[in-house]
């Protein structure tokens, strides 16, 4: 998602003000963010049904808190991501919580490719789940939430530099864990290929 300009943020602020006056005007905010919040919840949980429940609960809380919501100059999604993250964390603290592996199969690919893709998705989810909490949050907000570093910094209460460092460290860990070459290793390999050729 590209960085949001002042005009776009102001337009969103106006949507929030309109919704605070009349709850029926909340629909544009819901439509704008429901898919993003679902994707975020699904990334955190790996469970489609639980992600749907978290998404529904997030927007129920959004409606409930709407009269008290205060605009802070960052996208409304930052507040929604925080609510969804808190709901997932609360759910995980409950005893008897069971994480189900999703069955994501694109009917356009064969069973072998689908199995490989499913295994790879599960491996990536496990690797992300093993990251330290702050790195995991930065990565999920950046790639699943498609937020800019400035927006993530506001959400996490950190500086943009800290968010960049968290993201860099998380990506480095993920590359090592998943066997992907680091950027410096790719450059060295490319240089080696040029000298060999």
Kindly state whether residues 2 and 95 are assigned to the same domain.
Answer: yes
Kindly state whether residues 37 and 74 are assigned to the same domain.
Answer: yes
Kindly state whether residues 59 and 147 are assigned to the same domain.
Answer: no
Are 84 and 55 in contact by the 8 Å Cβ rule? The answer is: yes
Are 55 and 132 in contact by the 8 Å Cβ rule? The answer is: no
Kindly state whether residues 5 and 67 are assigned to the same domain.
Answer: yes
Kindly state whether residues 77 and 136 are assigned to the same domain.
Answer: no
Global pTM value = 0.54
Does a structural domain hold residue 17? yes
What are the angstrom distances between the C-alpha of 5 and each of 109, 147, 148, 149, 158?
Answer: 40, 13, 12, 14, 21
Structure confidence by residue, pLDDT tens digits, 88-137: 888 777 634 434 334 444 445 556 665 666 666 677 777 777 888 888 88
Q: How many domains does the chain have?
A: 2
Are 124 and 178 in contact by the 8 Å Cβ rule? The answer is: yes
Helix (H, G, I), strand (E, B) or coil at 23: helix
- CATH number (domain holding residue 69): 1.10.1740.10
pLDDT at 181: 66
Does a structural domain hold residue 108? no
pLDDT at 187: 60
Structure confidence by residue, pLDDT tens digits, 166-184: 888 888 887 888 776 666 6
DSSP secondary structure code for residue 4 in this structure: P
């Amino acid at each position: 998602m590209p960085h949001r300009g002042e005009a776009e943020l102001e337009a969103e602020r106006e949507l929030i003000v309109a919704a605070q006056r009349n709850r029926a005007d909340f629909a544009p905010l819901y439509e704008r963010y429901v898919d993003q919040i679902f994707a975020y919840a699904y990334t955190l949980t790996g469970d489609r049904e639980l992600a749907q429940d978290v998404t529904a609960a997030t927007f129920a809380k959004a409606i409930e808190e709407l009269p008290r919501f205060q605009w802070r100059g960052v996208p409304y999604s930052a507040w929604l991501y925080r609510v969804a993250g808190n709901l997932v964390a609360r759910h995980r603290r409950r005893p008897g919580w069971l994480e189900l592996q999703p069955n994501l199969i694109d009917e356009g690919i064969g069973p072998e490719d689908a199995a490989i893709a499913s295994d790879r998705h599960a491996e990536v989810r496990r690797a992300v789940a093993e990251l330290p909490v702050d790195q995991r949050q930065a990565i999920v907000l950046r790639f699943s939430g498609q937020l800019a570093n400035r927006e993530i910094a506001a959400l996490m209460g950190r500086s943009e530099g800290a968010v960049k460092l968290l993201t860099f460290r998380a990506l480095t860990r993920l590359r090592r864990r998943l066997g992907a070459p680091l950027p410096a290793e790719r450059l060295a390999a490319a240089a080696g290929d040029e000298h060999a050729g």
